[in-house]
Structure 1
């Protein structure tokens, strides 16, 4: 439960330090004094959105600290342990600061944390029911959340949400695949034609380069043959003398001079090596000449093949040496398009399975909702009877609709229905309930739900708007009864409700003409009587209003 709240430089609060106890605490005050300001500050500590406007004028930062005793809050203790944020005394200190520039920082037990963690823990510590909560009762998603909260459907609902997400992801993938399927089909038809043409042509890897080289050789075979013959004549086959003969004569001449000067031997050796090189070159050149083809028919075949390659390359707008690579690329793309069709088939199967899995869990949730909706209808009807709607009837109408678009909230259509007077037909809540009736029904639902949840601290922020007289007294008793086992805070303007609090706090606003400050403090027994009298009679307090106030105060 909340044991202490410290507020500094928040809105029009300069400084507040409040101690709280178990039971029902009512909060009253003058109109415009800011009765909800402590709750707004606490909301900041629970992870609500921060804004620079929350910082008191002419100050550097706002700071709010909230201390909780977690002795009877095992879920919160477990959360702290799992996030390694626990301390040793079963307490938890939440802290939030906002700079005048709007920068916000959050702390749990002195450790800096993201605001998301503060919010996650806050849900386990405090449940705030706002003054406009009854208006949201007209929304279908809120009505479903009321059933689910009452029935403790967290696990069932999470399973539905998880299976919905799985279905949604697959459905999105399938839509994306189908969206481009028409374009893919046109592309596939083009590829079929292109690949068939390239398959029939049957160009081999590096074939063009080989043909190009051979074509060039054959196209110049005459010049090659002539060059070979002239070179052979000059090197080794000349009738009037050639390089090889001249070298051999020089070697013979020099060998006869070796005895006269041994240095000549080195020159002879070099010339002998040159002879060997020339003989090898002559052999290779002779072999090349003898094997040089002069085949016009083969040359024509090469030229035809080469012309076809060039033509096909122009058609596909690539260089001829890249035509083979294009063929492989188109074949790969075609295979991928075929795989895409297989993927669509598989996605369709997977989506069907995901949908079946979703409906399995959604039906299970729906069946449980139906059972608890009957129970909740009975309880709310009984509660609104106590709230001076003696002839009223409340009914939760649930209908499975598996034909509607899949939703993470399940397959149920829901409608809160009410008949406010005897003999009336049940109709949609928003069509027949007045503002005051809607407030009473909303309060009845909040009280019933609060009895079912394990949150240790409940805050009702002016939820009694639109209620007065004897109904207000009943509301006060309901909240006090709820406060016997749970810590309750109730911001109210009704003396009948305020008098039922185990303790009461008063909020007022002071101004010196230059600045304004809101204060909040606990009232003693006599101060409570005076405050209840003020709520009953306004600024003029008489003996009569004091006596009435004394009667309203539940000790």
Structure 2
């Protein structure tokens, strides 16, 4: 539950700290005193949109802190622990807004995005505003309220998940069909191109090797002539071949080593050179013997290169890029073929997903219909208490055609009402006046809030348009709700405020031309005076005081 709210430099609030208790707390004060300002500040801690105009004139920034006791809320504790924000049974939300409009948020002291404030806030507080009854006329809000009252989140989750699966599969099928139409011509072209490249089957690196082999075969005669010339020059020539000349020089110098030892390294080098020439000659002789003109091999290489060049020009790539292109085209064809196969399989998946959705939706629909009967009975009871003795209320749950289903299931919900005897119930928006709509809306808000499971319920002047005995009934309803939940109610009605377990008074003062708002928890004696002012204005008479005491005692 909400334990404390601290507000600094927010609107006309300078520095304000309010402690809240379990049960029903009524916030009262004169018109214009700013009774709703604390709730506006709290809404920022729950992720509401911020504006620079919220910052008090002359201040650099506004700061709002809300503290909640969550020891008895396992869902909130698990949420905090999952995000490593646990604070031993406490949840502290903080929001700052600079005069330039920049906003920052914190959860248990750690910086957090606004989306997280909204998420955790949805587990902590439910805020009912004075204009919520206008929302009541919208079908989407009516089904939301019925689900809230029925309190079947697991059924809703099952339906929503099944709907998303079914919807996603249908969307995929539409995309596949569209792609299949667009890819038909492309697939035919790809099949032709891949078959053509399959037949040619040029391997990675093969074209480069073909070019090398083609050049060698084209120059076989030149290679043979030059190899033979090298053999003759180095060894086989009758006169002055390199080996003979080297041996002659080495023989002469070797004979002089005894005369000059400095010749020894040169003799060694020359000896090694002779050995190298002999080795080179052996290799050259083998090379020359293997060189043989091969017109057929040359023709085959020439033909393959020509075909590669022709295919490369056709596909506008370099010849050596043909293997890579071949693989890309095969992959694209495989993807198109896989899409075609997927299109054939997806119809069965859609059928199964539709069945799962329909099964889950029917369970949700049955739960709604069951809850609707109970809600109708309870709303009628409250309507009668709220000065509508002949009131009838019917929650019509009708099933939609399957093609109109949504994440909410297969139902459309319509609240129907009759406020006069003998009148057939009709849709709420057609027959209820403003005052009647306000009272019916209040009845539904209170009843659905009892089922909501949220620890803190806030009602911001939802009793507008209510007076007299009806106001007393509203007060009793709020107090009943406060027995099991923390209820904070902003009200201008003494009959409602008197039923509260606690009362907080809002006052607005002006000092030196500057406006200040303050909030103070009232004692029992102070409550009598506050209620007397609500009953009779600024002048408290014995009669108004007696009436106030009677209200508190009742």
TM range, smaller chain = 0.7 to 0.9
Using the TM superposition, give the Cα deviation of residue 79 of structure 1 relative to its aligned residue in structure 2, in angstroms: 6.2
**Is residue 127–residue 455 contact of structure 1 (8 Å, CA) maintained in 2?**
yes
**Is residue 178–residue 344 contact of structure 1 (8 Å, CA) maintained in 2?**
yes
Task: Give deviations 1:426-465, integer Å, cap 9, x for gaps.
Answer: 2221122111111111111122123334444432211111
Q: How does 1:264-279 map to 2 (within 5 A)?
A: 271=270, 273-279=272-278
Task: Give deviations 1:36-72, integer Å, cap 9, x for gaps.
Answer: 1233234344454444433322234444455556687
Task: Give deviations 1:497-526, integer Å, cap 9, x for gaps.
Answer: 334444544333222451111233345666
* Aligned Cα root-mean-square deviation (Å): 3.8
Counterpart in 2 of 1:37? 37
Q: How far, CA to CA, are the matches of 1:270 and 1:67 in structure 2?
A: 96
Using the TM superposition, give the Cα deviation of residue 114 of structure 1 relative to its aligned residue in structure 2, in angstroms: 5.8
Counterpart in 2 of 1:85? 86
Question: Is 1:142 equivalent to 2:141 in the alignment?
Answer: yes
Counterpart in 1 of 2:207? 208
**Is residue 204–residue 320 contact of structure 2 (8 Å, CA) maintained in 1?**
no
Counterpart in 1 of 2:194? 195
Counterpart in 1 of 2:421? 422
Q: How does 1:396-435 map to 2 (within 5 A)?
A: 396-401=395-400, 403-435=402-434
Q: TM-score by structure 1 length?
A: 0.84
**Is residue 404–residue 411 contact of structure 1 (8 Å, CA) maintained in 2?**
no
Using the TM superposition, give the Cα deviation of residue 254 of structure 1 relative to its aligned residue in structure 2, in angstroms: 6.4
**Is residue 85–residue 110 contact of structure 2 (8 Å, CA) maintained in 1?**
no
Using the TM superposition, give the Cα deviation of residue 117 of structure 1 relative to its aligned residue in structure 2, in angstroms: 5.4
Q: How far, CA to CA, are the matches of 2:133 and 2:504 in structure 1?
A: 25
Using the TM superposition, give the Cα deviation of residue 81 of structure 1 relative to its aligned residue in structure 2, in angstroms: 6.9
Q: How far, CA to CA, are the matches of 1:298 and 1:117 in structure 2?
A: 75
Counterpart in 2 of 1:511? 510
Task: Give deviations 1:51-107, integer Å, cap 9, x for gaps.
Answer: 4433322234444455556687666667667766344xx776655554444555556
Q: Which runs of 5+ in 2 are unaligned?
A: none
Counterpart in 2 of 1:292? 291
**Is residue 503–residue 521 contact of structure 2 (8 Å, CA) maintained in 1?**
yes
**Is residue 244–residue 278 contact of structure 1 (8 Å, CA) maintained in 2?**
yes
**Is residue 64–residue 95 contact of structure 2 (8 Å, CA) maintained in 1?**
yes
Q: How far, CA to CA, are the matches of 2:153 and 2:470 in structure 1?
A: 34
**Is residue 26–residue 491 contact of structure 1 (8 Å, CA) maintained in 2?**
yes
Q: Secondary structure at the match of 2:32?
A: coil
Q: Secondary structure at the match of 2:509?
A: strand
Counterpart in 1 of 2:185? 186
Q: How far, CA to CA, are the matches of 1:489 and 1:215 in structure 2?
A: 93
**Is residue 501–residue 554 contact of structure 1 (8 Å, CA) maintained in 2?**
no
Q: Secondary structure at the match of 1:306?
A: helix
Q: Which runs of 5+ in 1 are unaligned?
A: none
Q: How far, CA to CA, are the matches of 2:66 and 2:295 in structure 1?
A: 102
Counterpart in 2 of 1:25? 25
**Is residue 500–residue 554 contact of structure 1 (8 Å, CA) maintained in 2?**
no
Using the TM superposition, give the Cα deviation of residue 133 of structure 1 relative to its aligned residue in structure 2, in angstroms: 1.4
Counterpart in 2 of 1:476? 475
Question: Which moves more between the two structures, 319-328 or 68-77?
Answer: 68-77
**Is residue 365–residue 410 contact of structure 2 (8 Å, CA) maintained in 1?**
yes
